[in-house]
């Protein structure tokens, strides 16, 4: 199912006229347009429900839950505290900050060969692949792996995670490192393996200690349990037809498991409120509510282009860099503060705009009951994302809207 063909004029229709009525009227107009975009996506069955959170500098401009967990009319409604399978947004909420924390500690170096810390990784021509290469997706590793290939070679004494790591260490490069960008789940799985090898602790424990607890991200977890499972937006139907909740959708991350070691490419569950806290920390140069969790230099690595000269698409450490439509501006006054974002296959999206301090968290379960229903990536929900970005960019760039955003600070739910 193709997505809507939103034009910039359509998504901000009436906005310029409303600006003359003052900041409050402008904000109401923009919220109405955002509601229309999301509700249309639900009506056209690109996703059964969503949570949209738009903020700026610690203030919620718009935070609302839409639709239901499934398309059935008696399904639980989406709520602001609904837990979503973040899929590949795990890469920037888990793997990336954990790696940067260890770089700050001097335990890892971005430009040192991975094999310095993990000697087996040097096999088959990977001896000069660095952590920076993994985090910018220019390592030379292929995009994905089928878990059954690894399972066939797993030794009896190995866990699934250990078998995966041995498999990645033995892979040959699929292209010469640093010559192109190939987005790869294997990059962040390998980075997470490295992080856990040198830190000596599971990724979730490191993240809890360094980020989630200091930021108040109480709902974020690799392992939803108890009542939290009922709060999870389903991503599939089980053999009995019941919605599947709280189980990792990504096949590779699901095979990896998270009972001890945790995957870096996918598998994390979180809420819009928790992600808002994380986004505000990044947009605050590593500080939120007066508490520092990352150094400013580390944040700059996430908000500036880090791919080699001439390599496209552009990436920072962990994130996609948006330069130009539909998600960014053609030019950035400060090259260390680029607009960044990341999507997840399940239907999640994070967008951070350092020039204005604004951010968008658009969380859906578009894969329910199957990916085909949610529209193919790039043809379905991407149209809704682009439309939301157009509204928010227009709002954040207007002086009247900036005044409207300067009111009471709101703590994320």
Tens digit of each residue's pLDDT (9 = 90 or more) over 11-59 = 433 333 333 333 444 477 888 999 999 999 999 999 999 999 999 988 8
Q: Using CA atoms, how far apart are residues 307 and 299, in angstroms rounded to an integer? A: 16
214/185 same-domain check:
no
The phi and psi torsions of 287 (rounded to 5 degrees) equal: -120, 135
pLDDT (tens digit, 9 = 90+) per residue, 249-299? 999 999 999 999 999 999 999 999 999 999 999 999 999 999 999 999 999
Dihedral sign, Cα of residue 133, residue 315, residue 289, residue 211: negative
Distance from C-alpha of 34 to C-alpha of 338, rounded to nearest angstrom: 24
Residues 149 and 74 in one domain: no
Q: Is a pLDDT exceeding 60 seen at residue 2?
A: no
Q: What are φ and ψ of residue 80, in 5° steps? A: -65, -25
Report yes or no: 168 and 187 within 8 Å, Cβ to Cβ. no
Q: What are phi and psi of 177, to 5 degrees?
A: -55, 140
Number of domains observed in the structure of the chain: 2
Residue 3 placed within a domain? no
Please state the pTM of the whole predicted model: 0.91
- Whether 360 is covered by a domain: the verdict is yes
Residue 234 forms part of a structural domain:
yes
Q: Do 187 and 220 share a domain, yes or no?
A: no
> Which pLDDT tens digit goes with each residue over 66-106?
999 999 999 999 999 999 999 999 999 999 999 999 999 99
Asked if 47 and 192 sit in the same domain, the reply is no
Q: Is residue 98 assigned to a domain?
A: no
What are the CA-CA distances from residue 98 to residues 41, 104, 166, 211 (Å)?
34, 10, 21, 9
Q: At what angle do helices 96-104 and 185-199 cross, to 10 degrees?
A: 40
Find out whether 257 and 206 touch, Cβ atoms under 8 Å.
Answer: no
pLDDT band at 331 (very low <50, low <70, confident <90, very high): confident
The CATH number of residue 185's host domain is: 1.20.58
Return the residue matching tokens 């604004």. Answer: 358
**Is 91 in contact with 97 (CB distance < 8 Å)?**
no
CA dihedral 54, 91, 331, 24 (to 10 degrees): 0
Find the domain containing 281 and state its range: 8-93+204-404
DSSP state for residue 71 in the 8-state scheme: S
Whether 124 maps to a domain, the answer reads yes
The pLDDT, as a whole number, for residue 191 is 98
> Which of 139, 171, 201 is at the close of a domain?
201
210, 342: one domain: yes
Residue with tokens 């088959």: 124
Q: What is the DSSP letter of 407?
A: S
Within a domain: 164: yes
**Which of 175, 201, 227 finishes a domain?**
201
Q: pLDDT of 215-245, one tens digit each?
A: 999 999 999 999 999 999 999 999 999 999 9
**Which pLDDT score, from 0 to 100, does residue 252 have?**
97
Instruction: Looking at the structure, tell me whether residues 177 and 223 fall in a common domain.
Output: no
Q: Comparing 204 with 405, which gets the higher pLDDT?
A: 204
* Final residue in a domain of this structure, among 201, 230, 245: 201
Q: Are residues 187 and 234 in the same domain?
A: no
Quick one: how many helices (H) and strands (E) in the chain? 17, 12
Q: Show the DSSP H helices in 203-288 as ranges.
A: 203-207, 213-215, 227-230, 251-256, 272-283
State whether 298 and 388 are in the same domain.
Answer: yes
Read off the CATH number of the domain in which 238 is found.
Answer: 3.40.710.10
């Amino acid at each position: 199912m193709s997505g809507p063909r939103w034009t910039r004029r359509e998504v901000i229709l009436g906005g310029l006229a409303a600006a003359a009525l003052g900041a409050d009227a402008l904000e109401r107009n923009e919220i109405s347009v955002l509601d229309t975009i999301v509700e249309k996506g639900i009506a056209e069955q690109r996703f059964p429900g969503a949570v949209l959170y738009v903020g700026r500098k610690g203030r919620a401009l718009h935070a609302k839950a839409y639709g239901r967990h499934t398309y059935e009319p008696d399904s639980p409604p989406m709520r602001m505290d609904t837990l979503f399978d973040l899929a590949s947004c795990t890469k920037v909420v888990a793997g990336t900050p954990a790696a940067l924390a260890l770089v700050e500690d001097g335990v890892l170096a971005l430009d040192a060969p991975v094999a310095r810390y993990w000697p087996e990784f040097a096999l088959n021509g990977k001896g000069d692949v660095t952590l920076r290469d993994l985090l910018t997706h220019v390592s030379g590793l292929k995009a994905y792996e089928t878990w059954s290939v690894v399972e066939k070679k797993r030794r009896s004494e190995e866990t699934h995670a250990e078998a995966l790591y041995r498999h990645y260490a033995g892979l040959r490069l699929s292209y010469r490192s640093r010559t192109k960008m190939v987005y790869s789940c294997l990059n962040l799985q390998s980075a997470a393996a490295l992080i856990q090898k040198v830190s000596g602790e599971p990724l979730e424990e490191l993240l809890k200690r360094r980020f989630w607890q200091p930021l108040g991200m109480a709902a974020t977890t690799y392992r939803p349990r108890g009542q939290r499972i009922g709060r999870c937006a389903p991503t599939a139907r089980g053999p009995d037809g019941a919605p599947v909740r709280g189980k990792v959708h990504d096949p590779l991350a699901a095979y990896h498991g998270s009972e001890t070691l945790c995957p870096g490419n996918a598998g994390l569950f979180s809420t819009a409120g928790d992600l808002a806290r994380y986004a505000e920390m990044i947009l605050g140069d590593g500080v939120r509510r007066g508490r520092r969790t990352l150094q400013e230099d580390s944040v700059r690595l996430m908000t500036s282009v880090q791919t080699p000269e001439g390599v496209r698409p552009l990436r920072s450490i962990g994130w996609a860099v948006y330069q130009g439509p539909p998600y960014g501006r053609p030019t950035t006054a400060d090259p260390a503060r680029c607009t960044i974002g990341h999507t997840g296959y399940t239907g999640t999206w994070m967008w951070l705009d350092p020039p204005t301090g604004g951010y968008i968290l658009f969380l859906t379960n578009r894969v329910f009951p199957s990916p085909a229903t949610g529209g193919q990536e790039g043809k379905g929900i991407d149209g809704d994302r682009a439309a939301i970005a157009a509204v928010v960019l227009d709002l954040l760039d207007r002086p009247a809207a900036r005044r409207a955003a300067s009111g009471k600070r709101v703590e994320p739910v």
